[in-house]
Amino acid sequence: MERYVLSADLGGTSCKIGLFDEATYTIIRKWTIPTDTSSNGKNILSDINKSIKKYMDKESIHINQIKGMGFGVPGCVTNSGVVNKCVNLGWDVVDVRNQFRKMSGIDNVKVANDANLAALGEAKLGSGKGSDCIVMLTLGTGIGGGIIIGDNILNGSMGAAGEIGHIVVNEDELEKCNCGNKGCLEQYASATGIVRVANRFMKEKEYDSPLYDYNKLSAKIIFDNAKKKDILSNEIISYCCAYLGKAIAIVCNIINPSVVVIGGGVSNAGEIIVDKLMDSFKDNVFHSALDTDIRLASLCNDAGIFGAALLVTEEGKK
Amino acid sequence: MERYVLSADLGGTSCKIGLFDEATYTIIRKWTIPTDTSSNGKNILSDINKSIKKYMDKESIHINQIKGMGFGVPGCVTNSGVVNKCVNLGWDVVDVRNQFRKMSGIDNVKVANDANLAALGEAKLGSGKGSDCIVMLTLGTGIGGGIIIGDNILNGSMGAAGEIGHIVVNEDELEKCNCGNKGCLEQYASATGIVRVANRFMKEKEYDSPLYDYNKLSAKIIFDNAKKKDILSNEIISYCCAYLGKAIAIVCNIINPSVVVIGGGVSNAGEIIVDKLMDSFKDNVFHSALDTDIRLASLCNDAGIFGAALLVTEEGKK
């Protein structure tokens, strides 16, 4: 009778919603709604509920046919599905599981951190498929990390495991990261980090480069020019990817995953990222983890809703 | 009928053997035998077997009363109990589980890395008791690391998880670590690392310090003098512990344990270690993991045999 799984990946601008076939884990339908962060984001869950109910009515799907709903949120989540501060959504402490249970009538509601869910999605249905232990880095505006061991998300004692973006990789950094520390990976290998490094390079030394012609730089512009053999762009990307390689080496020394998956918007640049980080990875990794497979993500922007859907059926998820 | 658990912690100089009460996990008897590393260490397992059999005969313990035997080895161990290169024991590839099963008649034989087992011992019976997720660092001649999540050792895909001693913490290091890389934690916070740093400090600058009066320095001598307010010794310990604090911060950002336990010979120096690493830990850790409890180990040199004994009864151990 139960045939569907629902999931939602909550972002600061929009929420992606997915309806999955429970048997095959294929997406039947996906859509997005805007995220209303006004009044401390108090309408976010009810907006999602309304949107789902509208779709279910239209397609004559009864609530009995829904096995459950999984949520991915950009913040720390306790084991009982409570979100503890989620700046991008305007949330302080929100009991997502119980609030959504009440408003939707769906009993099986699971909640986890979005980077962890992207990792779960890639581990089970994407680039990490078949591996027993994967680490995923999501390189976007910031950097998220997720660790999957066996079938389980490594959540950590306070729901804060996988904060790979905030590993300090450069002792000599003078500028502060958003987190308050200095020299975090996020300052070099996120989309904003790459642009930050570019601006610094362009100020410190004069290059003959097309990068000076852009009013506003983006990580994509820099990658595109690096591929066209622009020297400055290549220096920027090499510099940023060296820190990425170092951080991945550190994570591999600690976790020893079989696969490291690189996803998020920045990873759309393609294999150039893996090529550019490899020397630094090899210089910093312990020999037992030297053969770790470093791959690009394959589920693209859907990893989050795939992971949130998996949460509903797999055992051991929080 | 089964009343006992056996365990052995294999080191390059000696093997510690323990007999435990299965119900209470108290040590009934512990003893050590020398490790015979000649002929690629081919006698090590049979020497242990003979020593155990001799003791069992003397005390009239029948093999039916032995629930199983756990081994801790200083190297990587596969999920099937095969040790892959163990330099200190002279071993290349040794199938410990099956070899010992055959020679001893004990069917339930489990094998794991010694640092992982020390972590398991501390997690269940020592300083980490009651915690769901602990990380342990063993500061000895080298640095071992072990991660316990729930009841399970994090083994990693190639048995190489927890190599915390080989996290690169100093990009500017010129000397090579034993592993071939440069700037590993082990070069600063192991017993040999602390002495290495001391010798460097004493060469670079002239101090008025009692350290110059020793023919041969040791980590213990340096800690003892630091406690007596010797300026040089305090500078050395502060420098070394700053790297330790940084490495622990990195591990906490990735794993988010509730407790970090510091053990091994160096930890006998006491609370001075925790005091001296705290500033650097706070400077490098992500805010969600700031409250991680950092404690000294409590099982001292017995953590390994406790952990190896636990391996026999707990579920999910390799």
Residues of chain A in contact with residue B149, where contact means CB-CB under 8 angstroms, are: 149, 154
Residues of chain A in contact with residue B257, where contact means CB-CB under 8 angstroms, are: 156-157
Quote the pLDDT of residue B316: 38
Quote the pLDDT of residue B318: 39
Q: What is the mean pLDDT of residues A269-283?
A: 97
pLDDT over threshold 80, residue A28: yes
pLDDT confidence bin for A314, thresholds 50/70/90: low
Distance of alpha carbon B107 from alpha carbon A149, whole angstroms: 28
- Does the beta-carbon distance from B161 to A76 stay under 8 Å? no
Residues 6+ apart with CB under 8 A from A54: none
Interface contact B258, partner A, CB < 8 A: yes
- Does the beta-carbon distance from A254 to B255 stay under 8 Å? yes
Asked whether the beta carbons of B69 and B111 are under 8 A apart, the reply is no
Asked whether the beta carbons of A288 and B158 are under 8 A apart, the reply is yes
Which among A233, A232, A261, A247 has a CA at the least distance from the CA of A187? A247
Residue A135: closest CA among chain B residues belongs to which residue?
Answer: B254
Quote the pLDDT of residue A84: 83
Q: What is the mean pLDDT of residues A130-143?
A: 94
Quote the pLDDT of residue A139: 95
Asked whether the beta carbons of A15 and A22 are under 8 A apart, the reply is no
Asked whether the beta carbons of A113 and A84 are under 8 A apart, the reply is no
Q: Tell me which residue in B131, B166, B246 faces A253 most closely, judged by beta carbons.
A: B166
Quote the pLDDT of residue A316: 38
pLDDT confidence bin for A191, thresholds 50/70/90: very high
Interface contact A245, partner B, CB < 8 A: no
Which among B183, B87, B146 has a CA at the least distance from the CA of B318? B146
Q: Tell me which residue in B180, B250, B286 faces A287 most closely, judged by beta carbons.
A: B180
Interface contact B137, partner A, CB < 8 A: no
Quote the pLDDT of residue B314: 65
- Does the beta-carbon distance from B76 to A251 stay under 8 Å? no
For chain A, the average pLDDT equals 94
Quote the pLDDT of residue B315: 42
Interface contact A246, partner B, CB < 8 A: yes
Distance of alpha carbon A16 from alpha carbon B241, whole angstroms: 46
- Does the beta-carbon distance from A166 to B253 stay under 8 Å? yes
Residues 6+ apart with CB under 8 A from A152: A316, A317
Kindly report the backbone phi and psi dihedral angles of residue B286, in degrees, each rounded to the nearest multiple of 5, phi listed first. Answer: -75, 145
B223-238 pLDDT, tens digit per residue, is 999 999 999 999 999 9
Quote the percentage of chain A above a pLDDT of 90. 85
Q: What is the mean pLDDT of residues A35-53?
A: 96
Residues 6+ apart with CB under 8 A from A247: A137, A164, A167, A169, A185, A189
Distance of alpha carbon A124 from alpha carbon A138, whole angstroms: 16
Neighbours of A105 (CB within 10 A): 11
Quote the pLDDT of residue A127: 96
Per-residue pLDDT of chain B (318 residues; tens, 9 = 90+): 669 999 999 998 899 999 999 988 899 999 999 999 999 999 999 999 999 999 999 999 999 999 999 999 988 888 788 998 888 899 999 999 999 999 999 999 999 999 999 999 999 999 999 999 999 999 998 999 999 999 899 989 888 899 999 999 999 999 999 889 999 999 999 999 999 999 999 999 889 999 999 999 999 999 999 999 999 999 999 999 999 999 999 999 999 999 999 999 999 999 999 999 999 999 999 988 999 999 999 998 899 999 999 999 864 343
Quote the pLDDT of residue B1: 64
Quote the pLDDT of residue B86: 86
Which among A309, A191, A169 has a CA at the least distance from the CA of B247? A169
